[in-house]
Structure 1
Amino acid sequence: MNELLVIAVIGSRRCALRAHEVQSVIEVGEVTPIPRTAAHILGLSALRSQALTVIDCRLSLDLALDGLATDGRAAVVKVAGHAYALLVDAIEDVEEAQSAPTQIPGGFGAEWTRVGAGMVETSGGPALLLDVAQLVAGHALEPKAA
């Protein structure tokens, strides 16, 4: 398996994004909130004059926000022609997959199962391969107040 993966941490879990889906990794600057959107949509930010919708991956997975530090970086991806910044707790490195994605033994719960495309082995250990479209979609959340 020669697929390159961007290794990230979300909620203390080691995750992988397919490198060909990641346009860049950025430090998220100012985010302008968007009223009445789902809670996992933090707002809009800009990258080289391009608007990015900022998605908080912890909120997309319905994880608690308290107690976990973040390095303020995000993976920029495109889903259905729209650019998104996936805010994660940390970006570790780019590694090569050493196995094809396999079924997750025992599972990680409903939200992780929703976004997981399988478990892959890397030189740094196993990582959960994520479906970026599912992270962007989030789960059934109530919209933020205006």
Structure 2
Amino acid sequence: MDNLYLIATIADQPVAIRAALVESVVDIDHIAPVPLAPPHIAGLAPLRSRVLTIICCERALGLPPTPARRSRIVVVNVDGHHYGLRVGTIEDARVIEDAPAPIRARLDAGWARVALGMLDFGGEALLLVDPQALVAGPDEALAA
């Protein structure tokens, strides 16, 4: 179903992720830091007999992270590897019939790098984000 999206927030911004790219949504209490990892790598966490690399979406956008006791994680598969995208909140999964529209506003560099388009859901503008771009991290992480 190409028009089903997971609605979440990153840095208090409502975003949409194509549900077809989402394996699951989980809460994780403890993330083990990884020494010398790029700043957008929050750490590692166990999930159902596998280890997830946890991505801090805020840091992947070049923003300061928001402290959280418990992490809401969107599990995605990128190039055969499982990653957990740490988001602020998870609202729901929604069917949005209209195709993504081009972005007509000027976005900060981090948002512009991960944005695929805009979706209108009941009058609310949702930024459609690319999980693969979040996993890749900010430009300076790519240069390292």
**Distance in structure 2 (CA, Å) of the matches to 1:70 and 1:114:** 28
* Residue aligning to 1:136: 135
**Which residue type is aligned with residue 13 of structure 2?**
R
Provide Cα deviations, 1:5-34, integer angstroms capped at 9, x if missing partner: 000001111000000100000001221111
Runs of 4+ in 1 over 4 A off after TM superposition: 68-71
Q: TM-score, normalised by structure 1?
A: 0.88
Query: Is the contact made by 2:71 and 2:86 (CA closer than 8 Å) also made in structure 1?
Result: yes
5+ residue gaps, structure 2: none
Q: Structure 1 residues 2 and 137 mapped into 2: Cα distance closer, same or farther (>3 Å)?
A: closer
Q: Percent identity?
A: 39
SS at match of 1:98: coil
Partner of 1:24: 24
The one-letter amino acid paired with 2:111 is W
Q: 1:83 to 1:15 in 2, by over 3 A?
A: same
Aligned to 2:86: 87
Maintained 8 Å contact 1:76/1:85: yes
**Is the partner of 1:105 in helix, strand or coil?**
coil
Equivalent in the alignment of 1:33: 33
The TM-score with structure 2 as length reference comes to 0.90
Contact 2:29/2:69 (<8 A) preserved:
no
Report deviation, 1:139: 0.7
Query: Match for 2:74: what amino acid?
Result: A
| CA-based RMSD | 2.1
Q: Which residue of 2 aligns with 1:113?
A: 112
